[in-house]
Amino acid sequence: MGDQPQTKSDTPELSTHQVQELSVADIDDLCDATDAAILGGGGFGWIKLPAREILERYWRGVLAMPSRMLFVARLDGVICGTAQLITPPRNNEAQSFTANMTTVFVAPWARGRGLSRLLVESIEKAAREEGIGVIHLDVRESLETAIKLYESMGYVHCGTNPFYARIDGKIIPGRYYYKVIDPALATKV
């Protein structure tokens, strides 16, 4: 009875976590995922593929910045997406309870598995642990799937910039959102 052959699960392994350092293989995966996201229209600001060295420097630079926390999504161990939490500098006492979430993306080949939601949940958990009470984000209005995700997770649309981005010569509006993640703050407004 116990001698049945073991097969690898058809269920992909999904994970998200904060990274403090990246191996050479991780940098390669991260750059590949970034390239795929840019080509898929969701490259968090990039429209054309930058040179590989530029991407590598960008990701290493993110890790070097004390105010940025980098989170990655993995599909079967391969990095396929990211999100960043940016905290205000220490001299900004007035906004010390807020942070910005940025560069949320999942490569097209890994989408549809809930990894974007897992990334946002990881950001929110880490933000709470850092004493952050409110998360801000902005997104191009053309990224409808991302907008649906954020709104389904309780992010509140608080403004629109009609001149947010230019893609292929066309001006694209952008939306601004916030979410109160510390319930105690809601009673103070």
* pLDDT tens readout for residues 155-179: 999 999 999 999 989 999 999 999 9
Torsion of CA 32, 35, 40, 41, to 10 degrees: 150
DSSP annotation of 97 reads T
Amino acid at 173: P
Confidence tier at 189 by pLDDT (50, 70, 90): low
157 three-state secondary structure:
strand
The pLDDT value recorded for residue 1 is: 47
CA angle 179/184/187 to nearest 5° reads: 90
Beta bridge partners of 58: none
Rounded-to-integer distance, Cα 135 and Cα 87, Å? 10
What mean pLDDT, rounded, does the chain reach? 92
Q: What angle do CA 171, 177, 54 make, to 5 degrees?
A: 60
pLDDT, position 41: 84
Question: What would the mean pLDDT of 23-41 be, rounded to a whole number?
Answer: 94
The amino acid at 109: W
List pLDDT tens digits, range 36-83.
999 988 767 888 999 999 999 999 999 999 999 999 999 999 999 999
The encoded tokens of residue 51 equal 């040179």
Where does the pLDDT of residue 11 fall: very low under 50, low under 70, confident under 90, or very high at 90 and above? confident
Domains of the chain, start order? 17-182 (3.40.630.30)
Report the C-alpha gap between 19 and 22 in whole angstroms. Answer: 7
For residues 90-115, give the mean pLDDT: 93
What residue ranges in the chain does DSSP mark as E strands?
14-19, 68-75, 78-86, 98-106, 134-140, 156-167, 170-180
Extract the tokens encoding 158: 């608080």
In tens, the pLDDT along 120-146 reads 999 999 999 999 999 999 999 999 999
Q: Is pLDDT above 50 for 17?
A: yes
